Chain A
């Protein structure tokens, strides 16, 4: 029973980590362009290029 009391909160913590990660992906709008993201990951020129340039004064 003691091991249960240790493992149950631990597994809950893991589950919560997953939930928070899911919440973050939603906030970061990672589901708005699945096709475009699939293309971007394969092409170095496309990766965050526009945003990097935007930071320059």
Chain B
């Protein structure tokens, strides 16, 4: 990160009419109030900064820059120096992230809550009157008019989210769950007004508002779940490279959005950064890590003239590239198109709640209509008929049904969130519960995706460590990790693609490829390092991409869940076979292209299996989008994280855990549906035969919702046990 000084991040600053700048940064590493203080202090002390406010919950820092002053790059540097890496947000995305819908729902919920609470003041006395207490007709009428005055405006306001959704659904000639809700609420209000006018005792003003209050709780929970997942996905995107460093003809390096890179532009890629577009190396040499594109673990050498692919990670040397394609024409784009096709096929999935609604809506409306016709035919008159039809609609109104799914899913995803698993949508949980077969990628999923030193004597490690600490190459890094903290060699010269040279205790030493160190190795491998003092014996260090610590137990847990498991990797046969055997997986396929991966997933699904794909590379992205459900580790490329339903951090044991939670959530949802059906089976006949009065309706509605919520909470009980 030494090349930052010349970065130009002005594309990320939005200036207003007075040229006052606004910059949004995603800051990582903040955990407590002390971090918050340090971050705001560091940002505010940067030149040209007027104000800075950090949101500890979302990790976003909003910076206001003085008119015509301030530099985004300087702010980022100041934060980096304080120990908090910061990434600028696209200003357009920052505006989009405002949660207007959530605030609207919260206000509707508040109004409904107010209405439901206060309308009771007038309806509870009426309920008392229903059970023979003293309450004459005039008093009851006064009470109902008070109730109407509160309930009507509250219900109309709080019902807007439902009315809007029902209307747009009807315009598409479909009936979602909001249609019976809207009809129920509006009809309830109309019937209640007509009853009050005629001095009757069956007015349901309280029911209309309470119903909306309970439903809005479910709606709000569902919305929170979606917002959290969406913003997390956006943060991940911002953290990956949406920008490239362009070397302009005036010799200045500018950070530009990746979509602005034109063919022929000269780009600078420093070690540790990814190559933004397909390009040809013009100057410099380095090792490239292609693991995310092809799945290969071995690094490839890049020198002038080498064609490089977008997404490759530059490991050791500074490269100057000439862009050979625009971002959307790069190798990545073909995979992106495949992903789109996969995602479309998946969007055809019908969610549980919609299945229930498709069943529920026609039944309830037919029932209400039959009640109306039947009661009138029996000779009880149109008024009683309308009253009973309305009672059927009110009492069967899908309160519990509306809460059944979101209540369970918010508890389940909250539980997974604490385990480091991010669930992108409720539908993802439903699909995950249906899985029968798991396909793993190897590199970065079963394995850690970075080399680890195979046992070497501590004294030898200590000898080479001072040089290793001075290098950025992943193999050297891993050697340095094995050695721990200590002294660093002096007079360091890093030769890109070869190795590093320096002085240790006055002796010249080299660490790197066999040829660089002076060994004639015929079997030179990409996963070894050589070390030696000048004119002394040379020592060899071998590395391997080790399995994650919990891979074996996670695979065993998946077998216990009754799932079949296989490995599909782009790497060569040797390492794939070794990793699969170590992990306890018998079926594996090696040397697979991204397109083959999709084909394999398609073939499995065609044979009737529901496939969970777990992958991290660009070569997995299309298969992730195609599979019935998919998971990606937090270290995956942005494309894969976007394609995946769930993103997990930490070990692989998150996979069986997520499946277990998803299955349990599905069980709870089905139980909730069963309970709702049972409730309606009792309540609907009661309404048809006129046994329901306003008190019974209020009790039944809130009671059934409470049962559903309590059942959802049981998800958490298992965790504590």
Q: State A26–B669 Cα separation when bound (angstroms).
A: 32
Contact partner, A40, options B36, B111, B139, B150, Cβ 8 Å:
B36
Looking at B7-15, B49-57, B178-186, B607-615, the stretch in contact with chain A turns out to be B49-57
Question: Which residue of chain A has its CB nearest to the CB of B66?
Answer: A54
CB neighbours (8 Å) of B110 from chain A are: 19, 22-23, 26
Q: State A16–B110 Cα separation when bound (angstroms).
A: 11
The number of residue pairs between A and B whose CB atoms lie closer than 8 Å in the complex comes to 70
CB neighbours (8 Å) of A45 from chain B are: 37
User: A19 to B111, Cβ gap below 8 A?
Assistant: yes
Q: B102: shortest Cβ distance to chain A, in Å?
A: 9
**Contacts A11-B118, A19-B111 hold; do A36 and B51 have CB atoms under 8 A apart?**
no
User: B33 to A33, Cβ gap below 8 A?
Assistant: no
Q: Which of B101-152 contact A (CB under 8 A)?
A: 103, 106-107, 110-111, 114, 117-118, 121-122, 139, 146, 150
User: B64 to A54, Cβ gap below 8 A?
Assistant: yes
Contact partner, B40, options A38, A42, A46, Cβ 8 Å:
A46
Q: Which of A1-56 contact B (CB under 8 A)?
A: 1, 8, 11-12, 15-16, 18-19, 22-23, 26, 31-36, 38-40, 42-43, 45-46, 49-51, 53-54
Does B58 belong to the interface (CB within 8 Å)?
Answer: yes
Does B32 belong to the interface (CB within 8 Å)?
Answer: yes
Question: Which residue of chain B has its CB nearest to the CB of A52?
Answer: B51
Q: State A15–B121 Cα separation when bound (angstroms).
A: 11
CB neighbours (8 Å) of B322 from chain A are: none
User: A51 to B51, Cβ gap below 8 A?
Assistant: yes
User: A34 to B57, Cβ gap below 8 A?
Assistant: yes
CB neighbours (8 Å) of A18 from chain B are: 114
Q: State A1–B107 Cα separation when bound (angstroms).
A: 34
Q: State A1–B117 Cα separation when bound (angstroms).
A: 21
CB neighbours (8 Å) of A12 from chain B are: 118, 121, 150
Q: State A23–B384 Cα separation when bound (angstroms).
A: 41
User: B111 to A36, Cβ gap below 8 A?
Assistant: no
Does B473 belong to the interface (CB within 8 Å)?
Answer: no
**Contacts A26-B103, A51-B51, A53-B51 hold; do A43 and B57 have CB atoms under 8 A apart?**
no
What is the interface of chain B mostly: helix, strand, loop, or mixed?
Answer: helix
User: B40 to A39, Cβ gap below 8 A?
Assistant: no
Question: Which residue of chain B has its CB nearest to the CB of A46?
Answer: B37
Contact with A along B30-72 (1 / 0, CB 8 A): 0011001100100010000011111111100000100000000
Q: State A34–B111 Cα separation when bound (angstroms).
A: 22
User: B32 to A39, Cβ gap below 8 A?
Assistant: yes
Contact partner, A39, options B36, B111, B139, Cβ 8 Å:
B36
Q: A51: shortest Cβ distance to chain B, in Å?
A: 7
Question: Which residue of chain A has its CB nearest to the CB of B56?
Answer: A36
Interface size class of B (residues with CB under 8 A): 20 to 34
Q: State A11–B139 Cα separation when bound (angstroms).
A: 19
User: A42 to B33, Cβ gap below 8 A?
Assistant: yes
Question: Which residue of chain A has its CB nearest to the CB of B63?
Answer: A50
User: B114 to A40, Cβ gap below 8 A?
Assistant: no
User: A50 to B33, Cβ gap below 8 A?
Assistant: no
**Contacts A36-B54, A49-B40, A50-B52 hold; do A26 and B111 have CB atoms under 8 A apart?**
no
**Contacts A26-B107, A50-B44, A54-B64 hold; do A32 and B37 have CB atoms under 8 A apart?**
no
Q: State A57–B697 Cα separation when bound (angstroms).
A: 62
Question: Which residue of chain B has its CB nearest to the CB of A50?
Answer: B51
User: B114 to A15, Cβ gap below 8 A?
Assistant: yes
Q: A53: shortest Cβ distance to chain B, in Å?
A: 7
Question: Which residue of chain A has its CB nearest to the CB of B139?
Answer: A1
CB neighbours (8 Å) of A40 from chain B are: 33, 36
Contact partner, B117, options A15, A32, A35, Cβ 8 Å:
A15
CB neighbours (8 Å) of A34 from chain B are: 57
Q: State A38–B34 Cα separation when bound (angstroms).
A: 12
CB neighbours (8 Å) of B54 from chain A are: 36
CB neighbours (8 Å) of B32 from chain A are: 39
Q: State A43–B41 Cα separation when bound (angstroms).
A: 13
Question: Which residue of chain A has its CB nearest to the CB of B104?
Answer: A26
**Contacts A23-B110, A40-B33 hold; do A53 and B44 have CB atoms under 8 A apart?**
yes
User: B51 to A54, Cβ gap below 8 A?
Assistant: yes
Q: State A40–B649 Cα separation when bound (angstroms).
A: 29
User: B36 to A46, Cβ gap below 8 A?
Assistant: yes
CB neighbours (8 Å) of B50 from chain A are: 53-54
Contact partner, B33, options A8, A39, A49, Cβ 8 Å:
A39
CB neighbours (8 Å) of A22 from chain B are: 107, 110
CB neighbours (8 Å) of A50 from chain B are: 40, 44, 51-53
Q: B466: shortest Cβ distance to chain A, in Å?
A: 42
Question: Which residue of chain B has its CB nearest to the CB of A5?
Answer: B142
Contact partner, B121, options A1, A11, A43, A54, Cβ 8 Å:
A11
User: A33 to B139, Cβ gap below 8 A?
Assistant: no
Q: Which of A8, A49, A50, A51 has the most CB of B within 10 A?
A: A50
Q: State A18–B103 Cα separation when bound (angstroms).
A: 17
User: A46 to B117, Cβ gap below 8 A?
Assistant: no
User: A33 to B56, Cβ gap below 8 A?
Assistant: yes
Q: State A33–B36 Cα separation when bound (angstroms).
A: 12
Question: Which residue of chain B has its CB nearest to the CB of A18?
Answer: B114
CB neighbours (8 Å) of B107 from chain A are: 22-23, 26
Q: State A52–B117 Cα separation when bound (angstroms).
A: 40
User: B37 to A33, Cβ gap below 8 A?
Assistant: no
Q: State A51–B62 Cα separation when bound (angstroms).
A: 12
Q: A47: shortest Cβ distance to chain B, in Å?
A: 11
CB neighbours (8 Å) of B146 from chain A are: 8
CB neighbours (8 Å) of B56 from chain A are: 33, 35-36, 39
**Contacts A8-B146, A43-B37 hold; do A26 and B106 have CB atoms under 8 A apart?**
yes
User: B139 to A19, Cβ gap below 8 A?
Assistant: no
User: B150 to A36, Cβ gap below 8 A?
Assistant: no
CB neighbours (8 Å) of A23 from chain B are: 107, 110
User: A36 to B44, Cβ gap below 8 A?
Assistant: no
User: A36 to B57, Cβ gap below 8 A?
Assistant: yes
Q: State A33–B55 Cα separation when bound (angstroms).
A: 6
User: B55 to A36, Cβ gap below 8 A?
Assistant: yes
Q: A24: shortest Cβ distance to chain B, in Å?
A: 11
CB neighbours (8 Å) of A33 from chain B are: 55-58
CB neighbours (8 Å) of B117 from chain A are: 15
Question: Which residue of chain B has its CB nearest to the CB of A27?
Answer: B103
10 nearest A-B residue pairs (beta carbon): A39-B33, A36-B56, A50-B51, A54-B51, A35-B56, A33-B55, A19-B114, A22-B110, A33-B57, A35-B57
Knowing that A8-B121, A43-B37, A53-B50 touch, tell me 13 more A-B residue pairs with CB under 8 angstroms. Answer: A12-B150, A16-B114, A22-B107, A23-B107, A26-B106, A36-B54, A38-B33, A40-B33, A42-B33, A50-B44, A50-B51, A50-B53, A51-B53
Q: List 27 A-B contacts (CB under 8 A).
A: A1-B139, A15-B114, A16-B114, A22-B110, A23-B107, A26-B103, A26-B106, A26-B110, A32-B55, A32-B57, A32-B58, A33-B56, A33-B58, A34-B57, A36-B36, A36-B55, A36-B56, A39-B32, A40-B36, A42-B33, A46-B36, A50-B40, A50-B44, A50-B52, A50-B53, A51-B51, A51-B53
Chain A interface residues toward B at CB < 8 A: 1, 8, 11-12, 15-16, 18-19, 22-23, 26, 31-36, 38-40, 42-43, 45-46, 49-51, 53-54
